[in-house]
Amino acid sequence: MTFSIVAYDLAAKEWGVATQSKFLAVGAVVPWASANAGAIATQSYANTAFGPRGLEMLAQGMSATETLDRLLAADEGREQRQVGIVDREGRAATFTGSTCHVWAGSLSGSTFAVQGNILVSAATVEALASGFESARGELADRLVAALLAGQKAGGDRRGQQSAAVLIVREKGGYAGFNDRYLDLRVDDAAHPIERLQDLVELHHLYFGKPVPESLVPIDKKIARELQRIATQAQQYHGLLTGEYDAATRAAVEGLIGIENLEDRWPFGSEKIDPVALKFLQKAYPAKKPRGRAGVKKTTRKK
């Protein structure tokens, strides 16, 4: 009752899993990944022991195929299982047991494997593969694009309920303390993949770091807009002078902390990230001027 994709991004040195299912909180069961080891999706009467055991084997240098063979050999219920694995070098392997509920199947390509069961048809896994290969952006973007393509092609024949995406890379976690770069889940929703895509975009907003070339100087127009926004947020209480003075800076930087945009803000500089500014303008929209109420325009008869 699930479809999934495991993949590796050679350039970013990232491993990831994305999945969707007519099942509550699929992200708590299917995806497993570890930096410099690989990624695993375990589903269809999922044997969750495949996650930690498989990652340990991958970390020891075993290939995806070797890891898959060992996991299945030790599992008496293997014919009910479905597994996708990508190893530290991006080599992929996938398996669909003979008693998985139809339609069930899988395929692999360069650096990825896709698999699904209780699907409308084989078109879902084919669309997962082609959707991933044609997508652009970070690995997370491409994995979610694959899910959208798979769903559009038919998806789980029982419907939708939950979706998840997990991305790991060395020291990719918050403040670099672990490798969990992105771990987002939609546990129960009518359209979980679309909501998951929204969450990925929010992750890019909050944790993406702007390149220096993208920053723009805070001129009078931008300074006045920042004063307006900070006033609306009740952080600034001065005049809208268009001067980025100490009071304005303190108010704006206080607001940046409230909105969790610290990773996008060049503190202490006279520049601004356009992405952060656009977010603030959307969160604190300018009020439209109100016309004179109750006044009707009349035409005199001559």
| 223's tokens | 């300074």
Q: How many residues does the chain have?
A: 302
Helical spans, DSSP H, in the chain: 50-59, 64-73, 123-134, 139-152, 192-207, 220-232, 246-258, 274-283
134 Cβ neighbours under 8 A, 6+ residues apart? 145
Q: List pLDDT tens digits, range 222-244.
A: 999 999 999 999 999 999 999 99
Band of pLDDT at residue 302, cut at 50, 70 and 90 = very low
Q: Which residues pair with 93 in a beta bridge?
A: 85
99 Cβ neighbours under 8 A, 6+ residues apart? 79, 80
pLDDT of residue 74: 96
pLDDT of residue 292: 55
Residue at token pair 């998806």: 155
Instruction: Domain 2-207: give its CATH superfamily.
Output: Aminohydrolase, N-terminal nucleophile (Ntn) domain (3.60.20.10)
pLDDT of residue 291: 59
pLDDT of residue 21: 97
Round the average pLDDT of the chain to a whole number and report it: 94
Which helix (H) or strand (E) is 32 found in, with range? strand 31-34
| 216's tokens | 């723009």
* Residue ranges, CATH 3.60.20.10, the chain: 2-207
pLDDT of residue 288: 77
Three-class DSSP category at 11: coil
CA-CA distances (angstroms) from residue 158 to 1, 115, 124, 127?
7, 16, 13, 18
pTM of the model: 0.89
